[in-house]
Each structure stands twice: as C-alpha cells, then as structure tokens.
C-alpha cells in the first residue's frame, strides 16, 4: 500500500513527500486545495527529494498546485529530478496548460428545457411527414416492380414469410387460445346474472372475428417482427451496407424494404385467421367444460347467428395493419445513425410506434364499420 | 537484459476446432519496452493479446502477468491485476452512450473512488495528454473522426496509469500524418509514464518508429523476438518478404535516412 503523500511549505519552497499516486488522490487533493485557496501559491522552488512514487494523477495535482507554467519552469531548471520523472511532469504540465480551469459544460436551464420540448414536437411532426413520404416511396417502388417479374425478389420474400409468418404461428395460436378462454370465462361470469350464458358463444366469436384475432396477431408481429426489421436494417445501416448497396447502383427499397413489407402483408392475414380459429377454440373449450355447451351446439350457433361480414371486417384490417407495421419497422431501421446505441433506440421506437398505430387504426376502423353498419 | 519480464508466456496453445492458432508459443515482455507483434493474417496476433489480458481462455500453457496467472487468480486479485493493464482495442471500443470524459472517468470513479468532478477533471487531463482538444471532452464517440477515437481510446487505456499497455492495431485506419503523430505520442507517453507496450500491428512505419523489439508470429509460434536489426536479417521467407518486400524496403530506407539526419 502506498503511503499518502503530503506537502509542506517552508518559506518559498514546496516540499513534496511520499507517494503522489491515484490511490491517494482524494487525500492529496484536499491538501492541494488547502494550500492554495484560490490565490497564487507564493513559491519559487520545489524540493523533490522526499517524493517517492508519482503517477499522472499526482503530477496533475502538482500542476494544479503550482500552475502548469511554473511547474514547467521549475522542472526544467531542476537538475536533481530523474529524467523520466521530469518527462512525466513536463508532459502533464503541457497537457494541463491547454485546459481551462473551469470545465466546459453543456448548459441546462429553462430555455434549454423549452427548446427540448419544441425539438420533440417538431421532431414528431417531421417523423410523421417522413413516414408519409416513406409510405409513398414504398408504394411507388411497389408499383414500379409489380409488372416486372424479373425484379421480384422471390427468395427473399419466401425467407421473410417463413421468419415473420410461419415461425410466429405457434406463439400467435397459443396466445389467442388463452385470450379466447379468458374472454369466455368473463362472458360466462357476467352473462350468468341474466341467465344468458349461451351468449358467451356470440361474445367470443364476435370479439375474435372482428377485433381480437387481428389485433392480437398484429401486436405480436409489431413486437416480434417490426423490431427484427429495425434491428436488421439498422445494423446494416450502421455497417454502411445500405450505402454499399446504393453505391453499386442497387435500390435498398427494392432489395430490402419491399420483400419485408410484402412478407408481412402476406403473413398477417394468415396469422389473423389462425388467431381467430384458435381464439374461438379456446372459447369453445371453456364453453364445453364450464357451461356445458357442446361443440356441435357451439358450431351451429356460429352458423346460424354470426354472419360472414364479421369475419371479413376482421380479416380486411390485417393487410393494412401489416403494411403499417412493416413500413414503420423498415423506416426506423433506415433512420439508424452510426452507433449501436442508435440501433437500440430505433428498435424501441419502432415497436412503440407500430403498436400505437395498430391500436389507433383499429379504433378508427371500429368507428367507421359501426357507422357503416357492417 | 537482466530485468525480470513483466509478462511471461510459456507453451501457449490455442485451438479453434481443428485449427491450431498457437502451438507451444513463448514470449516475454520486459519493463519499459515497446514490443511490436507482427505476423500474417490469421497467425493469432489478436488471440495472443486476448489470451494475455485474460479475455480468452487458452487451451494450455501458462501466462504469467506480474508473476501471477490471471486464469487461476481469485476474482479480487484478478481485478487488481487487470487495473495494471491498459487495453486499446482495434475499433477503440469506446462506450457509445457516454461522452469522452465520462468514458475515462468511469474507471476512475469505479476503481479509484474519486468524486465525479475530480474524475472528470483527471479525465480531461488524460484527453489532453492524448492530444485531444479540451472541447472534445463532451463529445460522444460517434461524433469523432477515426484518429480522435484512437486517441480517446488511448486516453481511456491510460486512465489508471497502467504498467503495461496493450494496443491492437493502433494506427490501422489512420492517415499517415495521424499515424505518425500517434507513434510520436506513444513514445512520448512511454518515456514520460514509463509503461511497457505490447503492440499488435501491421504498420511498418510504426514498427520502425516506435518498437524496441519485434516479435514475429508464424506457424503458431514466435519465430524471433529481438531488435529490428536482428529480425530483419532472419532468413525465414515470410520475414524476408515482410521486411524486404517493396513496402518494407521503402520504409526501411526512409527510416535509415531519417536516423542519419538525426545524428
């Protein structure tokens, strides 16, 4: 263990003793500040002979004590100093002379907070504009390649369908099954008071055909796939792969964005269908075991009382949600700048935005379909 | 040299699957020297560096760092030993979510238990030591050029005044002027702070400008580790190609001319 250094002032000579190293920094700093309370230290000589270890932290404190100019002068004039110690003192003194005594700070105040609020709001507006522009760009690119089979990226498309659609099937089925069972239990509990437990069937099928099937699947894909899109494109952007594509005359929209968007638009309706079926199955199971509604009865009620248009209303929303989720995922990925941290931020933002958009669009659609009487 | 080596590698063996990277490799690092480690791509220069600093567990062999083996130490002892080593990674590996001064202050706060204010003050000194302007202290790594990132990473590696500094390709990706400035900086700091340097490099200029000894890695072993004059004369074909190929000749000629002018 080093012995903490100390300093004495004898007349106009500063006597430095023992170890001036990082591990004793706090102790040494107190002594330095005590010896030099703001004013210039009246000293023009230093006795280095009792100084044992010295490192750059200690040298910094000595430079603070004496001022870097005086330290340079004294160290250069001194003949007793070992050359490496002199080198250390001079190097540190030179480094310190460029530094201001007051640290540079990033100012924080009411003006800055107000400016931050303004920046956030204009940033939000800009993001929406960018999203609208990106949707337009996606659509025009799509229109440009739709009639040219040579430019279809079938392999990429199939690979993405497998990743976003097929691989998400089990989790979507399980989740909607469980929610279906929960909705049936809720319905059974509430409807029992009216002796109308049979309407649990209607509740579950209505809910899943119109809303839950598509919304649950869309939210799952927003969490699972939008984030994946952002992370994939984001790390490609950070690694300059997107720039490399552009520089070799290839269109990243066509190569990367379109296959992902189309894969999502293809996958989500299928997942929605699976979600509807498995949610209704969950409900049917609860009906069978706790309400004594047999499977045949369940199916015949659906057949008689539930018109096809509920199914179509639910399924019709799927491609729209899919398009929005995929576009937000890709756009956030392309917004990534440089660092790994940025990939993380944009991934979070893409999930939040796409879930928000799904719920917002669903609410608007619900109003619209209600007014239309569909 | 009669001094004890700081780092002693004996019989090191590293395998990746069937591929043997190191086989019975011996290497020493002495106090105060700058050791350059060269070798073709895939000869395991970086793996050697990672093995010594304890980031990679070798398949067999011993590595003694300040007389102890990092792999068999207790975690407290290992942490104390690691504080005496400074590593500059190839890409800089600065923490992207922290400003430069926070990057350096982090280790000071955690290990030396300084207050944030003192740590940031010392950090700015280290940045100045590495030749960065004071304004850069508040920049984030993504706002810097490649050369500045290298300098900042050097400042971070020097944060705790290490006794041994490990550099992985420190001048790769720098322009010649920046690389030469880095070489000069390294020598100045070595002379001032008295650390030893273990430097993996491909840069012949750096090799000639800074290194006291050069170790050549080939076929899983250190072919030769000696001063440049001796290494250059080694008859091994790879060494001959390396030092006497078109680039090597040019650098050697420039260097000998330069030293003659100095004298």
Residues A216, A178: one domain? yes
- Cβ neighbors of B71 (< 8 A, separation 6 or more) are B54, B57, B58, B63
Number of domains in chain A: 2
A163 and A194: one domain?
Answer: yes
- Give me the residue from B96, B117, B129 closest to A95, CB to CB: B129
The CATH number of whichever domain residue A28 belongs to comes to: 3.30.750
Structural domain contains residue A113: no
Q: How does the average pLDDT of chain A come out, rounded?
A: 88
**A155 and A48, same structural domain?**
no
Inter-chain CB proximity B161 and A98 less than 8 Å: no
For residue A168, tell me if it sits in a domain: yes
* Domain end point (choices A97, A132, A167): A97
C-alpha distance from B160 to closest chain A C-alpha (Å): 8
* Minimal CA separation from A255 to chain B, in Å: 28
- Residues A364 and A298 placed together within one structural domain of the fold: yes
Average pLDDT over residues A246-261: 89
Q: Do B112 and A341 touch (CB under 8 A)?
A: no
The residue of B99, B104, B161, B194 whose CB has the most chain A CBs within 10 angstroms, and thus the best one to mutate to test that interface, is B161
Do A71 and A207 belong together in one domain? no
Confidence class for position B90, pLDDT limits 50, 70, 90: confident
Give the mean model confidence (pLDDT) for residues A267-286: 95
pLDDT bin (cut points 50, 70, 90) of residue A181 is very high
pLDDT over 60 (residue B262) = no
How far CA A2 is from CA of A54, A96, B193, in Å, comes to: 11, 25, 18
Question: What digits encode the pLDDT tens for the residues B47-86?
Answer: 888 888 888 888 888 888 888 888 788 888 888 888 888 8
Q: Which of A258, A278, A259, A282 is nearest to A270 (CA)?
A: A278
Last residue of a domain, one of A64, A97, A130: A97
Do residues A133 and A88 share a domain? no
Residues A91 and A130 in one domain: no
Instruction: Give the residue numbers spanning the domain of A68.
Output: 6-97
Going through B30-148 in order, the beta strands assigned E by DSSP cover 34-39, 60-65, 68-69, 85-88
Q: Is the dihedral of CA B65, B66, B71, B77 positive or negative?
A: negative
ipTM over 0.95: no
Q: What is the CA radius of gyration of chain A?
A: 35
Binning pLDDT at 50, 70 and 90, where does residue A1 land? low
Q: Which residues of A touch B (CB under 8 A)?
A: 21-23, 25-26, 29, 55-57, 60, 84, 87-88, 90-92, 95-96, 98-100, 103-106, 337-342
pLDDT per residue as tens digits for the range A15-29: 888 888 888 888 888
Q: Provide the token pair at B182.
A: 């880095």
Asked whether residue A1 is assigned to any structural domain, the reply reads no
Give yes or no: residues A15 and A71 share one domain. yes
Is the sign of the CA dihedral B136, B141, B143, B144 positive or negative? positive
Minimal C-alpha gap between A243 and chain B (Å): 18
Q: Does residue A254 belong to any structural domain of this protein?
A: yes
Contact B114 A26 (CB under 8 A): yes
Instruction: Report pLDDT digits (tens) over A71-94.
Output: 888 888 887 888 778 888 888 888
Same structural domain for residues A11 and A158? Answer: no
pTM for this prediction: 0.70
For residue B1, is pLDDT > 60? no
pLDDT at B259: 64
pLDDT of residue A356 exceeding 50? yes
Residues A258 and A152 in one domain: yes
Q: What CA–CA distance (Å, rounded) separates A229 from A221?
A: 11
CB A278 within 8 A of CB A180: yes
**Residue-wise DSSP of A255-319:** IIIHHHHHHHHHHHHHHHHHHHHHHHHHHHHHHHHHS---HHHHHHHHHHH--HHHHHHHHHHHH
User: Contact B70/B242 with Cβ under 8 angstroms?
Assistant: no
Per-residue pLDDT, averaged over B249-258, amounts to 74
Q: Flag whether A110 is in a domain.
A: no
Give dist(CA B208, CA B250) in Å, integer: 11
Is residue A103, in this structure, part of any structural domain at all? no
**Test mutation, A27, A57, A72, A346, chain B, max B CBs within 10 A:** A57
State residue A38's pLDDT score.
59
Q: Which residue of B has its CA nearest to A82?
A: B192
Considering the domain boundaries, does residue A243 fall inside one? yes
The verdict on residue A12 lying in a domain is yes
- A337/B192 Cβ within 8 A: no
Cβ–Cβ gap A88/B194 under 8 Å: yes
C-alpha B150/C-alpha B127 separation (Å) is 11
Q: Which residues of B touch A99 (CB under 8 A)?
A: 124-125, 128, 134
Q: What angle do CA B218, B223, B224 make, to 5 degrees?
A: 140
Q: Does pLDDT of A40 surpass 70? A: no
Do the Cβ atoms of B125 and A56 come within 8 Å? yes
CB A285 within 8 A of CB A294: no
pLDDT surpassing 60 at residue B212: yes
Measured distance CA(A60)–CA(A171) in Å, rounded: 60
CB contact under 8 Å between B128 and A60, yes or no, is: no
> Same structural domain for residues A50 and A146?
no
Q: How far apart are CA B101 and CA B129, in angstroms?
A: 13
Percent of the residues in chain B that have a pLDDT greater than 90, as a whole number: 4
| CA–CA distances in Å: residue B213 to residues A231, B27, B67, B232, B254 | 45, 12, 21, 11, 19
Tell me which of B125, B135, B143, B160 to substitute to probe the interface with A (most A C-beta atoms closer than 10 Å): B125
* Mean of the per-residue pLDDT values of chain B: 85
**Which of the four pLDDT bands, split at 50, 70 and 90, describes residue A106?**
low
Helices (H) and strands (E) in chain A, counts: 16, 4
């Amino acid at each position: 263990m080093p012995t903490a250094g100390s300093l004495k002032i004898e007349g106009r000579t500063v006597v430095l003793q023992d170890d001036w190293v990082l591990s004793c920094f706090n102790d040494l700093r107190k002594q330095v500040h005590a010896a030099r309370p703001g004013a210039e230290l009246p000293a023009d000589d230093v006795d280095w002979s009792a100084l044992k270890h010295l490192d750059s932290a200690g040298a910094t404190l000595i430079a603070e004590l004496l001022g870097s100019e005086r330290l340079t002068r004294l160290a250069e004039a001194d003949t007793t100093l070992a050359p490496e110690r002199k080198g250390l003192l001079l190097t540190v003194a030179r480094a310190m002379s460029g530094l201001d005594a007051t640290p540079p700070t990033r100012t924080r105040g009411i003006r800055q907070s107000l400016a931050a609020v303004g920046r956030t709001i204009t940033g939000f507006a800009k993001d929406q504009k960018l999203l609208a522009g990106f949707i337009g760009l996606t659509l025009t690119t799509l229109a440009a390649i739709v009639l040219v089979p040579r430019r279809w990226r079938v392999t990429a498309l199939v690979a993405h369908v497998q990743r976003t659609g097929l691989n998400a099937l089990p989790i979507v089925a399980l989740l909607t099954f469980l929610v279906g069972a929960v909705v049936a239990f809720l319905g059974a509990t509430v409807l029992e008071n009216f002796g109308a437990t049979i309407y649990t069937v209607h509740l579950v099928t209505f809910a899943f055909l119109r809303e839950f099937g598509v919304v649950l699947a869309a939210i799952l894909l927003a969490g699972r796939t939008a984030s994946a899109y952002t992370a994939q494109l984001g790390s490609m952007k950070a690694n300059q792969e997107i720039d490399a594509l552009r520089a070799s005359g290839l269109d990243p929209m066509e190569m990367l964005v379109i296959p992902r968007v189309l894969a999502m638009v293809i996958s989500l309706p299928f997942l929605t269908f699976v979600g509807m079926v498995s949610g209704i199955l969950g409900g049917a199971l609860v009906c069978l075991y706790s309400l004594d509604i047999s499977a045949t009865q369940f199916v015949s009620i659906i057949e008689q009382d539930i018109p096809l248009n509920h199914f179509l209303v639910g399924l019709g929303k799927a491609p729209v949600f899919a398009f929005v989720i995929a576009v937000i995922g890709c756009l956030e990925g392309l917004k990534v700048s440089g660092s790994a941290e940025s990939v993380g931020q944009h991934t979070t933002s893409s999930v939040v935005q796409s879930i928000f958009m799904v719920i917002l669009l669903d609410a608007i659609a619900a109003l619209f379909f209600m007014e239309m009487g569909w | 040299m009669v001094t004890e080596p700081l780092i002693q590698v004996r019989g090191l063996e590293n395998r990746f699957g069937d591929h043997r990277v190191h086989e019975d490799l011996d290497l020493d690092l002495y106090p105060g020297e700058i050791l350059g480690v060269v070798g073709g791509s895939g000869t395991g220069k970086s793996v050697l560096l990672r093995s010594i600093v304890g980031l990679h567990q070798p398949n067999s062999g011993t590595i003694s760092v300040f007389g102890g083996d990092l792999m068999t130490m207790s975690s407290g002892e290992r942490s104390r030993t690691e504080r005496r080593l400074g590593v500059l990674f190839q890409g800089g590996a600065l923490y992207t979510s922290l400003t430069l001064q926070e990057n350096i202050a982090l280790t000071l706060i955690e290990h030396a238990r300084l207050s944030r204010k003192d740590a940031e003050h010392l950090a700015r000194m280290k940045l100045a030591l590495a030749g960065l302007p004071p304004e850069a202290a508040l920049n984030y790594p993504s706002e810097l050029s490649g050369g500045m990132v290298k300098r900042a990473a050097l400042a971070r590696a020097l944060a705790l005044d290490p006794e041994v500094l490990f550099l992985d390709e420190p001048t790769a990706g720098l322009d010649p002027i920046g690389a030469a400035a880095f070489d000069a900086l390294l020598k100045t700091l070595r002379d001032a702070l008295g650390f030893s340097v273990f430097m993996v490099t491909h840069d012949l200029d750096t090799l000639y400008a800074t290194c006291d000894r050069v170790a050549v890695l080939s076929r899983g072993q250190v072919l030769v580790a000696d001063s440049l004059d001796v290494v250059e004369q080694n008859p091994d074909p790879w060494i001959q190609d390396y030092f006497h190929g078109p680039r090597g000749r040019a650098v050697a000629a420039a260097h000998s001319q330069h030293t003659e002018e100095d004298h």
